[in-house]
Chains A and B, each alone.
Chain A
Amino acid sequence: MTYRRRASPLHAARAGVGAVYCAALATCALVFQHPLILGAVALSVLVAAAGAGVAHEVARTARFTLPIAVLVALVNALVVRDGLTVFARLGELPPFGRIDLTVEALVYGLVLGARVIVVVMCCALFTAAVDPDELLRVFRRVSFRSALTAALATRLIPVLARDARRMDDARACRPDPGPRVAVLRAVATSALDRAIDVAATLEVRGYGAARAGHRSPGAPWSRHDVAFASAAAGIVVLSVGARIAGVAGFDAYPLLSSPVGADELALAAAVVAIACAPFLDRRGIER
């Protein structure tokens, strides 16, 4: 999945604002464990992705993350001894020892898995809808090292994806192709070499050399910039405020406690409304 310019309010906003918007959604998912709020963030990301024309990419990434989330849930259920509601006794199971599966550990594992999926969806939205070239320029002004890291990340992923495709073709040409995991391992071990190649190119293109050079006065903020920046700020303020106020608390152990009252419902609705509001303004966006 790579960035491609599309006609959408999120693509029309400046890259820095788009990145902050995605980060705000991810922050909300990290602040709350309450399933209702996680669901609200997931819904917000999906609506935002649809509004940006990248719903297919974000949904596909979520599907790829599903096995990891299930794995997290299973491992949590197997290794965590907390929780009082035992629903299965598996006896001695090396290397875990005596295993009693509890509803609480399983649910908490599912919540952790759901959180992983939602955060990955936020990252997918960022990758598909925020211009990495423009972001690179923003970072360059702020911090050379952060920019280098960001540039490496944005460039390296497509390079490694192409490497993986080619290696998979080469694997298919072997008389005994063997498992695909060998390709994954080879791509992972070659990532350092590729990162060095990309970083060397950035160096010889003069990256990080300009210190006191020309600095343009900066373009005025568009209404999309203002809308998405306001939404990001609103989500962060709402999340932190609600957390401090004790709204949408969630405890898994020893017994599940996940209150769903008017406060939680209002918070979930507010998150969705604030996150989706910038997409209502489509004036000037090409169809």
Chain B
Amino acid sequence: MSALAFERVTYTYPGAPEPALRDVSLTVEPGEFVVLAGLSASGKSTLLRAASGLVPHFHGGVFAGRAVVGGLDTREHQPSALAAVAGTLFQDPETQVVLGTVRHELAFPLENRGEGPAAVARGVEEVALALGIESLLDRSTAELSGGELQRVALGAALAGRPRLVLLDEPTSQLDPVAGDELVWLLRRLNEEWGTAVVLSEHRLERCLGHADRVVVLHDGAVACDASPRAFLEWAAERSPALQTPAARLFERAGLRPPPSGVKEARATLRAHGLLEEAPAPATAPEPPKRERKRDPFAVRARGAWCELPGGRSVLRDVDFVIAPGEKVALMGRNGAGKSTLLRHLGGLQAPTRGRVEAGGRVALLLQNPNDYLLHETVGEEASADALAQVGLERLAHRHPRDLSGGERQRLALAVVLDGGDPTAVLLDEPTRGMDRAAKGDLAARLRAMDAAVLVATHDAEFAAAVAKRVVLLADGRPIADGPIEEVLTGGWYFATETARIVGELTPEAGAERIRRRLTIEVAP
């Protein structure tokens, strides 16, 4: 019996002019690891919601065809009944934790299935140990960080060991370390428990190496259903926006077949004598000493501290300067203090000690673009000039919440840019949930700005596309600060995929290096 079987499923949301899923046929066998790829609004989330039964039971609309999950037909069984065979994890951890403590949250699905107290207690312990969240068991869910909440929500989805797990961009809010850990964990569950995994993800380089198959949705229909390698060959020809950096590197260098991950890419290059044995990672450049007072700056912090009432320090004696027009990426793991530093530089919080100064107006774009949407039309949110600056002038009559994720991000940017040219633009995780095309568009807009740009991000590829300088933050203070080529090529986690393969920042630079090596190889 298949873990999931779709037979010619077509689905239209209530009031929508076009179907969100079109004639989708798909089978996922027990123990398979399937990655769901596609641009934004291609139907990935709808497919996962159809597999969990929320479509059509919860959302309504018109459903045709047949979806069977673990032997249960979704037309005949409610989502609550399907939960026994399929665990589901959505993107936003805020709305996915429904009880007050972690222990209650993990027990909740087991209790809903009618398990006895002993079975519930055992299930909670097992899933907590499997996810490494046993230390959180008695914590209040209100106190957890986004990453912790996401792990707890995953624990709730896995409690009771469902045969199938459906995940909708679960790593979008996690730092590279936590994101990689989560994908490894899914791989372990897949291998050890035989759990079938269907994972929707924009950052394909994170999960292709673990996948058995890749299913690509385009405009609601299955455009490709193939092995990771076959998918990458398909993407090179038909949908370059879905190519991973490693595949782009090989394509630019004229090499085939495209690799599904770093390990495979390095093995291929090594086999052909094209891999220069990497030198020991360069020491990351240390943060510079305190700048002179008279140096021009867009924003700067001098000995800034942020101390919480309980005594914990989120920022510790931060000295940090951005020159006018400079493009800087701020990186670091969840909880390192990136958002807090941005809030201080943007004037939303004052340091408890030290000083923060700005050379002019500072535009601060916080994490969630939806928080900026307060009016009924796009035109009311920002002036025509600001909308034109982000390419939304033609959508002025639309309701802001009808826009796509990428468009909302651009609208939020227009809101903070409105009211004159800022000296500095600060952006906190602006690429969450964005596909590669939307990220590229945003990066181009930021590069073209005259203002200084500081972008806090977990996405090394996006940082490389925007910034010339990277500041790495840990425990509330900068631990590395230097040119992006130096900082993002010497690390394990805070490095682009191309840097991990050939030690260059971008696929283009990496391909150039490989071509040089090829030239040397064939030269007499």
Contact = CB atoms under 8 A, between A and B. Distances in A.
B419 A2 contact: no
- The secondary-structure label for the interface of chain B is mixed
B94 A162 contact: yes
B479 interface: no
A4 B101 CA distance: 10
Interface residues of B, number: 61
A212 B114 contact: yes
Given A175-B416, A186-B373, A213 B115 contact: yes
Interface string B98-110: 1111001000110
B420 interface: yes
Interface string A161-180: 01100110111111110100
Contacts of A208: 78, 80, 112
A155 interface: yes
B150 interface: no
Interface string A62-73: 000000000000
Contact of A158 (B142, B156, B372): B142
Contact of B54 (A136, A140, A200): A200
A210 B112 contact: yes
Interface string A202-227: 11111111111110100000000000
Nearest to A212: B114
Nearest to A209: B80
Taking residues whose C-beta sits less than 8 angstroms from the other chain, chain A's interface range is 35 or more
Nearest to A172: B348
Contacts, number: 147
Contacts of A182: 374-375
A3 B374 CA distance: 30
A172 to B, nearest CB: 6
Given A159-B95, A208-B112, A210-B112, A166 B368 contact: yes
Given A182-B374, A205-B109, A174 B348 contact: no
- The secondary-structure label for the interface of chain A is helix
Contacts of B374: 167, 171, 178, 182-183, 185-186
B263 interface: no
Contacts of A204: 52-54, 79-80, 82-83, 87-88, 157
Contacts of A199: 58
Contact of A200 (B58, B111, B343): B58
A81 interface: no
A196 B108 CA distance: 19
Contacts of B101: 133
A194 B401 CA distance: 13
A251 interface: no
Given A131-B100, A175-B361, A206 B117 contact: no
B140 A4 contact: yes
B346 interface: yes
B99 A133 contact: yes
A133 B363 CA distance: 41
A166 B371 contact: yes
9 smallest beta-carbon distances between A and B, as pairs: A213-B114, A175-B419, A206-B83, A206-B112, A170-B371, A210-B114, A197-B95, A209-B80, A203-B79
29 contacts: A131-B100, A159-B95, A166-B368, A169-B348, A173-B366, A175-B420, A176-B419, A196-B58, A197-B92, A197-B95, A199-B58, A200-B79, A200-B90, A201-B96, A201-B98, A202-B98, A203-B79, A203-B83, A204-B54, A204-B79, A204-B88, A205-B157, A206-B83, A208-B80, A208-B112, A209-B80, A210-B113, A212-B114, A214-B116
Given A173-B416, A185-B374, A206-B112, 18 more contacts: A170-B372, A173-B346, A175-B361, A176-B418, A193-B401, A197-B95, A199-B58, A200-B58, A203-B53, A203-B57, A203-B79, A203-B80, A204-B88, A205-B109, A206-B81, A209-B78, A210-B113, A213-B113
